[in-house]
Amino acid sequence: MEDFVNKMVEKVGIDKATAEKVVAFLKDHADDAVQLLQKSGIADKLPGGLGDKLGKIF
């Protein structure tokens, strides 16, 4: 999980605290978030393979 947070900090440009909040939100809403990302096609466009990692995390 720490690797995912660090990649968000590096690739998205947000601070670590915000990235950790995003991860907490995604954990709380994992089913909804993964379905939305898959339907929208956004997961395929995330840099550094983050889309694949999202699916594996949740």
> Looking at the whole model, is its pTM more than 0.75?
no
pLDDT at 52: 55
Say which residue, 49 or 32, is predicted with more confidence: 32
Residue 26 has pLDDT above 90, yes or no: no
Say which residue, 3 or 49, is predicted with more confidence: 3
Q: How many residues does the chain have?
A: 58
Contact 10, 16 (CB under 8 A): no
Rounded average pLDDT over 12-41 = 85
7, 15, 17, 55 from 36: Cα distances, Å: 21, 24, 24, 11
pLDDT at 58: 47
Rounded average pLDDT over 34-42 = 71
